[in-house]
Amino acid sequence: MNHSFPNSHFLADVNWLQENLEDPNIIILDARFDVRANADGSFSEIRGREDYEQGHVPGAQFVDLQADLANPDDPTAIIGPEGFSGLMRSLGVNETSCVVVYDARGGVWAARLWWALRYYGHENVKMLDGGLVAWQAAGLALEAHSPPAKKPGSFISRPQPHLRVEKEEVLAAITQENTCIIDALPTPFYRGLAGLYPEHRKGHIPGAHNVPAEANLDPATLRIRPMQELQELWAKPGIRPEQRVITYCGGGVFASFSLFVLALMGHENTALYDASWMEWGRDETLPVETGS
């Protein structure tokens, strides 16, 4: 396990997970997902179930970030508490379970599930450092068959409202000295050089600082960068210990990874603007900036 982070308990090492695969208290969730850029500038979703069925960490169950976690009545928001409770129970998650999440991109997608579990009151959740890439790099075996169905769990959602904000709170935060807004998207989207959605405006929320989610990863291994490197990266927006941090991206996924990294580093006075650019970019009444 990596103990160089103030909150290293949020991170799971592949060797530790391999040694504990038979622990009935550990629930492993595969949250693979991705997007593909189209010629017209739009993006197509790439669901991870097919890849999961071809090979996954032994005992892992699949969670579809879109079909399972999005609110069917409002796709810009996380699924409601009753729906989330039902999902977690179906996966065998109890209130005492240790949940380990992973994907194939270093955690930038699985972080949505990490955040959702914390938002609904479950603190014992870990990100697999390096995800599936690290697992395979360590020479550890995959399985292709689905694991046996779990005994229904006893999970109960206990929403933590301070971990999520709406656009009104973000709008107010623009002029608040005690709040720092972080844009977790790649820099071209932040600067307005590229559009995330064809019918949305380009740019970023005024005053937001850009710390791309994937910049927190070692590009060669997809593992979390060492603490010193993260401190250098996060020194750019100049976040003070007493400040609250609000993160956003396109739809609350990469921004969740930023919250994960901040939590790992010991900064937990944070919240997710869940609807992110999916909402902000299309609302003409909300201000937008471009450039650096």
Give the Cα separation of 182 and 120 in Å (integer): 22
CA-angle at 67, arms to 66 and 71, nearest 5°: 80
* Res 220 pLDDT > 90: yes
Q: Quick one: average pLDDT of 91-97?
A: 97
Distance CA 130, CA 185 (A): 20
Cβ atoms within 10 Å of 54's Cβ, excluding its own: 9
pLDDT band for position 48 (50/70/90)?
Answer: confident
pLDDT higher than threshold 60 for residue 149 = yes
Give yes or no for residue 39 having a pLDDT over 70: no
Instruction: List the domains of the chain with CATH numbers.
Output: 8-159 (3.40.250.10), 162-280 (3.40.250.10)
Q: Put the strands of the sheet holding 11-12 in their side by side order.
A: 11-12, 125-128, 98-102, 26-30, 61-62
Q: Residue 42 has what pLDDT?
A: 57
Q: Give per-residue pLDDT as tens, 95-113.
A: 999 999 999 999 999 999 9
> Distance (Å, rounded) from C-alpha 77 to C-alpha 33?
17
Which distant-in-sequence residues (6+ apart) come within 8 Å of 57 by Cβ?
17, 28, 30, 102, 128, 132, 135, 140, 142, 143
The predicted model scores a pTM of 0.94
Provide the annotated active-site residues.
Answer: 249
Residue 282 above 60 pLDDT?
A: yes
Q: What is the CA radius of gyration of the chain?
A: 18
d(CA 245, CA 147): 39
pLDDT in tens, 165-215: 999 999 999 999 999 999 999 999 999 998 888 889 999 999 999 999 999
Average pLDDT, the chain: 94
